[in-house]
Amino acid sequence: MSLALSTGRMIELAVAVVLLVAGLWFYRRRDPSDGSYGGQGAVIMFVIAAIIGAHALGALDYHPTKAEADYYNARQH
């Protein structure tokens, strides 16, 4: 996997980092009424940030196996 990122993927990665930081901020913010920490919204932001970050780094790209590539190449000729 190459880490040479296109401009679009760099923007995606930046959005993932911003969502992660925002999620941390929401999670650590105390609710004065009951003294508990943040909850569901922060966790959802963590999940979305993880998915966007994985996509930006190419983890969700399709990578054919050698057998699939050989089959495809054999069908082309």
Q: Amino acid identity of 66?
A: K
Domain for residue 40, yes or no?
yes
Domain for residue 2, yes or no?
no
In the predicted model, what is the mean pLDDT of residues 13-29? 92
Q: Supply the range of the domain harboring residue 28.
A: 7-76
Domain for residue 1, yes or no?
no
Q: How far apart are the first and last CA of the chain?
A: 28
In the predicted model, what is the mean pLDDT of residues 27-37? 71
The SS3 call for residue 60 is coil
**Number of domains the chain contains:** 1
pTM above 0.75, yes or no: no
